[in-house]
Structures are given as C-alpha cells and as structure tokens.
Amino acid sequence: MHELNWGLPVILYLFLGGMGAGAGAVSASIFLRSGGGDLAGSNFRFARWGAMLAPPLVILGTAMIVLELGSFQAGNWFRFINLFLTINLSPMSIGSWVLALFILVSLAYAYTFISKAARPGDELHNMRKMLAWAMVPLGVGVALYTGILLGAMPARPFWNSPILAMLFLVSALSTGVAAILLVRSLFGHKQKVNEQAFEQHSYLLSSSDMLLIGMEILVIFLFVMYAHLTIGSVEEAVAVIMGGELTTLFWFGFVVLGLLLPAAIELKYVMPTLLYQKAYAMPRTMEILICALVIVGGFMLRYIVVIAGQVTGPVGI
C-alpha cells in the first residue's frame, strides 16, 4: 500500500494553474498579434475570454495548494506567507513570486476587458497593451513552474526529468486554448459577430491546438524515452505507466482520449481549410467535445504524473 502525501489539491493546483496560465498567455498573444489590439473584430473577443478565464483558474488552483500546505487549519491561516519571506533561487521561492505576480497582472489585464464597452482604442487601450506584453512571459513562467516544482525533486525518479517542465508547458497552452474555445462554443454564438471572421479565428485556434497536441505527443514520447534510458530506478517508475497500475489511465485516459481522439477530430475539420482553402466550419457539439477531451486529458496528465511519482517511492540521493 503506497502512502500518497500529495493528492487531489496538488493535482488541481497543477491542472488549474497550468490551464489558467495557458489561457492568459494565449489571450495576450491573440491580442498582440492583432496589431497590439488596434484591430477590431473577433480577435478582441477571443482575447477577452482568455483574459477573463485566467485569474479565477489560477487563483482557484493556488487556493488548492495553500489548502495542501495546511494554511486553512486553525492557527495556521497565514502559513503560506512563509513562501515569500525566504527569497532565494529555489524553484519554490521563484515560482511563488512568479505565481503571485501573474495573479496581480492577470487581474489587472482582465479588468481592462470587463466593461461591456471595452473595445480596441478605448481609454484602457495602452494599459491593456502593456499588460498583454507582461502576460505572455508570466503565463509561460507559471506553466513551466508547475513542471519545475516536481522536476526539482531528485529523490522522485518519475518526476526528476528536464522534459517534465516542457510537457506541462505544452499541455498548459493546449488546455488554455481548449478553455477559450469552450467558452466560445458555449457563449460566443449568442453574440452578433462577423461570422466569417469569427470562424477564421476559431480555425486559427483549433489548428494551433492541433499543433500543440502534436507537440505534446512528441514531448510525452521524449519524456518516456528519457526515463526508460536513464540508469537507475527510473525504469521502475516508467513501468507504472507501461504495464503497471496506471497503464490504463495513461494510455486510454490520457493518450487516446486526451490526445489522439481530439487531434484526429480537429484534423478532419482543419485540413480542408489548410489544404484547399475551404470555409472552416466545425459543428458546435463537436467543438465542445474536443475541448472537453483536451481539458480532461490535461487533468489526467497531472493526475498520472503526481500519483506515479509517489507510488514508485523515493530513492536515496
């Protein structure tokens, strides 16, 4: 029987924090690619959805890790502040500051979009553009940190990989895109928009998500191969997902449902536009299904990594 010191709160922190950081970085990227937000149109709406998603997701995820630290226990309400009292070059210290800065900047960034009258060139335009430039590196930093936090533990062979941070980054961007597209599918059709431009931006996000899934498949392959070829007890850790107790969750829950299936469906709708310049049109129900699968896959990845790192047990260093 394995003792699991890190459970659902940590998994939710890694998942929600990564997805929120990805949504924020993607939102700012969309905004800046549209001429720094100077161009009106559906790109502004996509950026707005990402901006509104980022803060609550990251704040909720951070609340989960604060809960795990025991700060909600009587007498320990402010225990998490210790993370900011010790400033050094450790991943925990740097990550805590990057996370706090992202939350503050993302809240300010979301504020510039919150008004129904928000539009390109309004009175908050310059502030919005400045914050967007900060959101991209901070979002990438938070997404990387969720992987570095685990990868910096040499005693846990499954986590101790230089590829884990990159895997979490790509997954965070992919789930961030999926979250924006999911909001678009659920609420975007209620707005009066230029349908052709709207679908064009949906196509750009869907094709980007397809590329991110392809990158994620490549990175997960490199992650497994690196662990398999590493001398020591890492091979035992890999065995957990290659024939052990987490095999079904890894191959079916993550690889098949979270990566291959959504990529195959997106490929069906993206390729005609990419190769033959046909009008892009994906059924709303199909778009919702793809987004849900990608988001569930992102959760499964964190669940498998966190649990696998603990069931294989620590090694001496």
pLDDT per residue as tens digits for the range 239-263: 778 777 788 899 999 999 999 999 9
Task: Give CA–CA dist 161/156, Å, rounded.
Answer: 10
**Better-predicted residue by pLDDT, 224 or 25:** 25
Alpha-carbon distances of 264 from 7, 44, 127, 222, rounded to whole Å = 32, 28, 40, 21
- Assess if residue 1 is contained within a domain: no
What is the number of domains present in the chain?
1
- Assess if residue 265 is contained within a domain: yes
Burial (CB < 10 A; 0-12, 13-18, 19+), residue 76, is exposed
- Assess if residue 121 is contained within a domain: yes
- Assess if residue 317 is contained within a domain: no
- Assess if residue 3 is contained within a domain: no
Task: Give CA–CA dist 225/244, Å, rounded.
Answer: 17
- Assess if residue 2 is contained within a domain: no
pLDDT of residue 194: 46
Name the pTM for this structure: 0.87
pLDDT of residue 113: 93
In this structure, what CATH number is given to the domain that contains residue 132? 1.20.1630.10
**Above 70 in pLDDT, residue 78?**
no
Task: Give CA–CA dist 138/145, Å, rounded.
Answer: 10
- Assess if residue 232 is contained within a domain: yes
Four-point Cα dihedral 103, 179, 197, 194, nearest 10: -90
pLDDT of residue 204: 79
**Above 70 in pLDDT, residue 265?**
yes
CB atoms near residue 111 (< 10 Å): 16
Q: Is 77 helix (H, G, I), strand (E, B) or coil?
A: coil
Give per-residue pLDDT as tens, 277-290.
787 878 889 989 99
pLDDT of residue 317: 47
- Assess if residue 195 is contained within a domain: yes
Domain region containing 277: 8-311
